[in-house]
Structures are given as C-alpha cells and as structure tokens.
Structure 1
C-alpha cells in the first residue's frame, strides 16, 4: 500500500521543501494543508499527482483528528513553535501515527518531550527538531561525540545569508527568540544568558569566511546535555550575512524596550520589514546556510577537537533535507524508536550519513 504523509503548514517555504524532498526520495502520497483555498492556488511545486491539498486550520480539532487518522506519518511544519501546544503530537499518539516536526524553540520541545511515555506505550515514533538547525546540526554533533572517548564541550555555530530562502514565519522565530534570557549549560552548571550577546568571530567555509555569531536560544542548549551526559558545556550561536543585520538584531535585543518586544504587533512589524529587506539583499548575499560543529573532549588520553562543517546554498531546502530524510527512513521501516526524541537521540550516525550522501550534502571533518 502507498504510504500517506500529512504535512501541516506545507505551504510555507520549509514545508514545501519537505514535500519536495519526500516526492523525490519516496513514493508516498503527500497531503499539504493550509488555512484557506487560496493557499492551494499559491502552491507552486512540480510534484505531480502524488500531492494533494487539504484546507485545514489546526483549531479545527475534529477535522485535524480525521486527517491524522488517515495518515501513516504526520510532519508538523506550522510554526512559529513558540505559540504551539502539543495537540497535534498528542493526537498522533492517540491515533498510533508516527510524527516529525521542524520545531525550534525550547518551550515547545519541553512540552513535546513530556509526551515521551505516552508515545512509548502507543508504539509511536515521534522525532522533533528535525530541520537544519536544529536537525542536521544535532546529527553533526553526534558524529563528533562518537569520535571521542569522552566528549566535554560542544560549540555549534550557525550562519544564514539574507532570508535563507524562508518566509516571514522564520523572521518571526528570530525576533521571538530575542524576547527573553535563557539558560545555557556551561561548566557543568546552568547559567542565564542574554540573547544575541557575546559576539564571537568564527571561521566558516567558503564563501563565508570569518563571520560574527551571537548567543541564540535553541533547543540544543538543553537536549544535547541530556543526550550526552559527560558534556559540561554547550554553546549555540547564530549570525546573519551581511553583518549589518547582526548589528540591527543586537540593537533590537538590547536597546528596544522589553515591553515593546513582547507585543505581538511589534514582532509582526519587525518580521515583515526584515523579510522585505532580505528580499532586496538576497540578490547580493544569496540565501545559503553554514553550520560548524566543534566537539572537544578526550581521545587516547589527550584533549582533541573534532570539527564538522556544512554549507548549502539554500537554507530552506537544507531544512527540507533534514526532515525529509528522517521521514524517508520512517516510511522505509529503517528507523523505529517509540517515544519522543530530539534528532540526536533518535537517528544513528550511519543512517544520517546515508541520507545526507543520497542528497548530495557534503559534511567536511577535521581534527584540531
């Protein structure tokens, strides 16, 4: 029988990329959802007859339950996940349907992980944070951890050119991430960190070179210490190209009044203005992404650093690869792990490397 995949929020740039990856690498029947019939007309994907459209608002509980019941796999791409509850995940567990998402915020990740025991009891594999960062980046860390006898420190750096090929939702995610301080695992203790602080210049692969990155609140800050208990420090930093955007984001995080930044209307205004600006500068900067993972630890009784670098010319497409590759493994029965897991706890390195190679993603490694 043909596998049936439901992509919630499939009209967005990330969801569309996931759908494209699934259509390329599987024979699944794909249903993309949107909140209005006009959304279907706006979909411009050369996916053929295997892709259908369903008008669905996540608030329509009965319709959502029916759509999930008619699916073999649900992929949740309807962000921002700062605002989301776990109703979709819980419904999948109740219906016995496997689940993936592209979530990227600690509040949602924490709520999803609380459903772990229910997913085990239902035999449901639910894997969260599966895009590019978090997602592919987490698996790059796992690669590094497995090269060391005792991993002790993880340093993840992300860089995005312009809009990254994503839509307004990703802009919302960025500005929402500036609202609050967050906890980071440093030297074996939890420390409060200010978002977009402590600029650090990282040497990324060509064409980026030396670029600035800043503290940014990501789920990896607490899922990686849980996955790898010997690690005493996890650093997650993010930056933009051109560097001009970094300075504007820093001002937004540190100069704008907190009460203003916590108004939804402010987030909407900043998101649309930023998206307009990046649409202009994309012509000069491109829409690519770079990820650099450094894992420090003990190897043969000495301190060593294992570095991994990835560059892709389109951030949204790379995110689609991250989620689509795990969906492929689930549909093929190569990955089964009942429970709710971040990707670094669910995806073995050999399967990660297999799916990345099949998509032409090259990850370069070296020792420092």
Structure 2
C-alpha cells in the first residue's frame, strides 16, 4: 500500500482535502509544522500524523512516503525546502500554489526530478488546473497560436492562506509573457472587455500562475491572464503604484497578516456550493483567427479539493516518467471536464474580416 501525505493539513484548504480524502476511503498521513495544530484533526479523522519543520532534515520524515501534497503556504517560502526534501527522499511532489515564482522554481528542478524518477507538479488546485486545461484545449484547437489569454470569474470567497499570499504580493507589479519571456507590467495597465461566461465585463490583467505554466504546457510565446475588474478599480490599481513602496514593506505585510489570522475564515460549505467559477481562454494565430473556450467549474476551493485528490489518486496508481509537469501536461485538457461540478468545454471560432 503506497503512503501519501498532506503537509499543511491544518490550513483551510488542507483540511478540506483531508476530510474529502477520508470520505473517499483514503488514509493520508496528515502533517505540518505544529503537532498541536495537526493532532486534533488527525484524531477526529482517525489518521496518522507527523510534525516537522521544513528544514534540511525534512527528507528524513519522507523516507517511506510515496507522495506529498503540499498545502502549507505562503508557497514562495515553503515550496523550495519541500521540493528539495522530496528530491532527497525520492517522493512525488504536488502543491496547490498559484505563485509564478514557485512554478518557475519547480520547472527549474526538472532534470533533478528526471534523475530521481519522481513527479514535480505545482498548481494541482484551482491554481492552475482549469486554466491550464483551457490553455491546452486552445492549443489543440489552434495549433499555430502565437497569443494566449486566460482568465476566470468567481465570487468564491477567500481563505486565510490565500489572503496571506495576496499580502505577500503587495507592492509588486503584474506579469505577462512576451516572446517567451516573463516580463513585469504595471498593475492596471492591461485592461479589456471579456465575457468569462456570464456576460461581458471590464477586466484587468493580473500576475496569475498561467503566465508561467501555460507556456510549458503549450509553447505559446505570448500569454496574459485576466479577472473581472470595474473600470474604477482598474484606475485605482494604477494609482496604487504610487504607494507600492509602502505596501511592499515587511512591516505593513506583517501587520496585515496578523489581522488575517484574527479575522479571516474561509467560505463555508453552503457558500461554496452556490458560487461556481467561470473559466475563459482566447488564442490567436498570425493570420488573425481567434478561438475562444469557456467552461464552468465548481467553486474555487471545491475544485482544488477535487483536482488535487484526482491527481494524487492517479499518480499513486499510474507509472509516469519522472520530471516536471503541469496538470494538463500530466493528464490532458479533459482533466478539468472530469471533475465534479465541471461542465464541458464550449468552443467558438472567429475569422478575420
């Protein structure tokens, strides 16, 4: 029987995954940095648990673990030591990050993963399964695409961990990929109108993980990522550039994160059940042919639970060559369509006049 671990199981999303895993008959080992925080959930679910820090000795705690699902953010700080521990222990590594820097680091470890014959796959949740699958679907529909835009619309609510990740990014710019290279772009400078799936809305470019992952999935050299944003808020984002040194300070971030710990709780079951997500993608080739793909999925957090567990289950059963993968790179564009709460891709084609 193969063993797998949820590290960060005491966090909002980690706990959701642990509870759903037990419902499905799985027995993951729960883990985190604090035994006091992990033990109550482990005892409630009748699961084994471990407590260990992400330091140079972390690999010792993974010796008999076949796969780690890493859920302890902020991932910009925690993913690198966990990836290194997994490489040392020859343990498959998955995480639920949405951070561009983490995707880039995970990709940079490809040859080490090949050598150790393990899978490294960041972003096995809402970040970035649905958009990554949309990117691959568009590549299949328009193989010669040179431009790719991806985005989503959701009233999903925000967990404490997601809020903390957002705070870590305060004061930074947006990001896109141009001619194959990641480039910063002023927040609020990218704006357009998009129908994500429930009517046309003003939208703004954001530094979403797909500017990293979609390039490795599709090879399309120009990629931007979008969310709905009113014109007034786009203007406010531009003005925030003036205050970015203040927002970027460690003092401000620390104060805000303490507020999150005291006041923010993740969305409840009823809220999640009534707030689906709408995924949109657009690809364009040199001749001006445009393909647009849309799909509706479960709530952001529910999709993370379903997607992460689907990939865990498949990796524990299937033999796949070691290396770095994106979610769609592992299991194809149809991965998202097979998850609970997902519809089917809808594809539209527009030709130049």
What's the TM-score, normalizing by structure 1? 0.80
Residue 349 of structure 1 corresponds to which residue in structure 2? Answer: 333
Stretches of structure 2 that go unaligned for 5 or more consecutive residues are none
Give the Cα separation in 1 of the matches to 2:295 and 2:43: 30
1:238 and 2:227 are equivalent in the alignment: yes
What's the TM-score, normalizing by structure 2? 0.83
Residue 31 of structure 1 corresponds to which residue in structure 2? Answer: 29
1:38/1:45 CA distance change after superposition, 3 Å: closer
Residue 49 of structure 2 corresponds to which residue in structure 1? Answer: 53
Stretches of structure 1 that go unaligned for 5 or more consecutive residues are none
Give the Cα separation in 1 of the matches to 2:293 and 2:339: 22
Give the Cα separation in 2 of the matches to 1:249 and 1:274: 23
1:337 to 321, 326, 329: 321
Q: How does 1:257-276 map to 2 (within 5 A)?
A: 258-271=244-257
Kept in 2, the 8 Å contact 1:161–1:288? The answer is yes
Kept in 2, the 8 Å contact 1:13–1:316? The answer is no
1:154 and 2:148 are equivalent in the alignment: yes
Give the Cα separation in 2 of the matches to 1:246 and 1:45: 45
1:345/1:284 CA distance change after superposition, 3 Å: closer
2:304 to 306, 319, 322: 319
1:237/1:65 CA distance change after superposition, 3 Å: same
**2:207 counterpart SS class:** coil
1:302/1:171 CA distance change after superposition, 3 Å: closer
1:265/1:210 CA distance change after superposition, 3 Å: farther
1:205 and 2:201 are equivalent in the alignment: no
Give the Cα separation in 2 of the matches to 1:192 and 1:56: 36
Deviations 1:45-74 (A, max 9, x none): 97x43x333223323x43x32321121111
1:190/1:132 CA distance change after superposition, 3 Å: closer
**1:11 counterpart SS class:** coil
Count of residue pairs brought into register by the alignment: 348
